[in-house]
């Protein structure tokens, strides 16, 4: 009887682990809502409870354990590997990251703004491709995320090109010219709260931070989605907009980037 109970416990444990590790992740690969609930709510809660750490802290630990210090590409690859095979996170990711890379290389921005630093993945990715003497201002609302991002950025060796700003985008955008001597941004990467894409875009317009030819590049425009922002940039005569189809980071759910050129 005891042996049967032991076998039952072991079998149940194996079944639960299989569900958690392989079966459920496979089932949610193609469904945006289910994928976000599983990867962005349930799994972090389980791991936070079991480890006493947060997802950003675990990403930082992976970087410090596996990435080559001073090698930005090694840091990016390490986070991609960790998020694809260990624990999902809403970075722009490797697939959409290649689109981001191509646009940064095309624009060659002297002054760039990133809205939403999170753990510093896209910050490192962008900064590593910027031309000499270029600046990347990256804005993060959450101080705990910002603390992790600073360490990731330093580990990658790109801190000389990055200015990390903590606080709400609505407070900082009107102060960009005064505080940082910004005339206008060549490229803006929107990757923060999705309901802030449209109001922050309009705020940048009002503050004169967009010049003719400035480019807005918005992530996650399909999943979780930014319908009001898309309607605005696609319907406004002030923008010429193009959608780059891809997938939600580390899944097969459709997502993409919207590139919008400001026409003045």
pLDDT in tens, the chain (264 residues): 555 554 455 455 545 555 567 677 777 788 889 999 999 999 999 999 999 999 999 999 999 999 999 999 999 999 999 999 999 999 999 999 999 999 999 999 999 999 999 999 999 999 999 999 999 999 999 999 999 999 999 999 999 999 999 999 999 999 999 999 999 999 999 999 999 999 999 999 999 999 999 999 999 999 999 999 999 999 999 999 999 999 999 999 999 999 999 999
Parallel/antiparallel/unpaired status of strands 111-115 and 135-140: parallel
Q: pTM here? A: 0.93
Pair 209, 184: CB distance under 8 Å? yes
Catalytic residue IDs = 191, 194, 219-220, 249
- 3-state SS, residue 121: helix
Q: What is the pLDDT of residue 9?
A: 54
Specify the CATH class of 93-262 in words: alpha beta
Residue 110: exposed, middle, or buried by beta-carbon count in 10 A (0-12, 13-18, 19+)? middle
Angle between helices 143-156 and 72-85 (to 10 degrees): 130
For the chain, which residues make up each domain, given as ranges?
93-262
Pair 229, 218: CB distance under 8 Å? yes
Burial 27-60 (b: 16+ CB within 10 A, else e): ebeeebeebbebbeeebbeebeeeeeeebbbbbb
Q: What is the pLDDT of residue 148?
A: 98
């Amino acid at each position: 009887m005891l042996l049967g109970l032991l076998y039952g416990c072991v079998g149940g444990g194996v079944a639960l682990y299989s569900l958690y590790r392989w079966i459920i992740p496979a089932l949610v690969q193609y469904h945006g809502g289910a994928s976000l609930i599983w990867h962005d709510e349930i799994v972090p809660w389980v791991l936070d409870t079991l480890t006493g750490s947060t997802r950003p802290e675990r990403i930082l630990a992976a970087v410090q354990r596996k990435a080559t210090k001073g090698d930005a590409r090694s840091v990016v690859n390490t986070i991609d590997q960790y998020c694809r095979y260990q624990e999902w996170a809403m970075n722009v990711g490797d697939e959409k990251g290649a689109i981001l890379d191509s646009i940064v290389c095309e624009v060659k921005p002297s002054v760039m703004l990133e809205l939403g630093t999170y753990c510093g993945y896209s910050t490192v990715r962008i900064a590593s491709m910027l031309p000499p003497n270029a600046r990347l201002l990256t804005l993060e609302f959450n101080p705990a995320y910002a603390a992790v991002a600073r360490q990731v950025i330093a580990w990658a060796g790109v801190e000389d090109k990055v200015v990390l700003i903590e606080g709400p985008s609505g407070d900082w955008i009107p102060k960009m010219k005064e505080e940082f001597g910004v005339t206008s941004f060549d490229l803006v990467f929107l990757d923060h709260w999705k309901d802030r894409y449209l109001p922050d875009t309009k705020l940048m317009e009002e503050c004169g931070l967009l010049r003719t030819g400035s480019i807005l590049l918005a992530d996650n425009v399909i999943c979780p989605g930014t319908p009001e922002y898309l309607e605005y940039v696609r319907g406004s005569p002030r923008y010429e907009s193009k959608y780059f189809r891809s997938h939600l980071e580390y899944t097969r759910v459709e997502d993409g980037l919207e590139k919008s050129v400001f026409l003045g």
